[in-house]
Chains A and B, each alone.
Chain A
Amino acid sequence: DIQMTQSPSTLSASVGDRVSITCRASQTVTTWLAWYQQKPGRAPNLLIYRASYLESGVPSRFSGSGSGTEFTLTIDSLQAEDFATYYCQQYSSYSTFGGGTKVEIK
């Protein structure tokens, strides 16, 4: 199985900050990598697919980059509604999620 490791597990930030979350795969997933946002009590919401493609309706302050085994989700100018938990998912070989990164208010 492909293991996905996210870092950090928790990130404290302020409104307006630029934040980055890293996801590393135990073996290459080429660009079969997605990012999701989840708020408490809600189902996850797709943000990015194929490592860098922005899902329709997602604000352009979200962006994804990377290929192979290392990926980054960046949020430019963090907004109040962005405080949530973020997960990466590989879908190169079956599927696996990262452990999650909670973005909290500093």
Chain B
Amino acid sequence: QVQLLQSGDEVKRPGASVKVSCKTSGYTFSSYGINWVRQAPGQGLEWMGWISTVNGNTNHAQKFQGRVTLTTDTSTTTAYMELSSLRSDDTALYFCTKEGLGGHLTDWGQGTLVTVSS
């Protein structure tokens, strides 16, 4: 079955960077893109960006311009999300998601809690 297994929770200082990994299995990695979505405590879902698992092309939400880097390693079927210049309002649960044909999000990782605190 499809699985997306994310790396463990992180605590970071303001100004630092964090890199979250998403190990996938159970499907052909290069057939579906990966999206990243975050959820601040008690808040709604926020789309961060998308990466093609075919050619590495990316799209991301305007608010993350210059701060988010999405990559993949096809040899290990793993996706990565790096967020730099962390602020306290980046404290959130970060999810990787596999998209279906068209762009809806069919499968989700378990989430990685990133806490930004001095």
Contact = CB atoms under 8 A, between A and B. Distances in A.
Interface of A: 1, 32, 34, 36, 38, 43-46, 49-50, 55, 87, 89, 91, 94-100
Interface stretch (B19-27, B72-80, B84-92, B103-111): B103-111
Given A1-B61, A43-B109, A91 B44 contact: no
Identify whether the interface residues of A are mostly helix, strand, loop, or mixed.
loop
A44 B108 contact: yes
A95 B44 contact: no
A95 B35 contact: yes
B106 A91 contact: no
B111 A43 contact: yes
A43 B37 CA distance: 10
Nearest to A9: B44
Contacts of A100: 44-45
Contacts of A98: 44
Name which of A1, A32, A43, A89 has the most chain B CB atoms within 10 A of its CB: A43
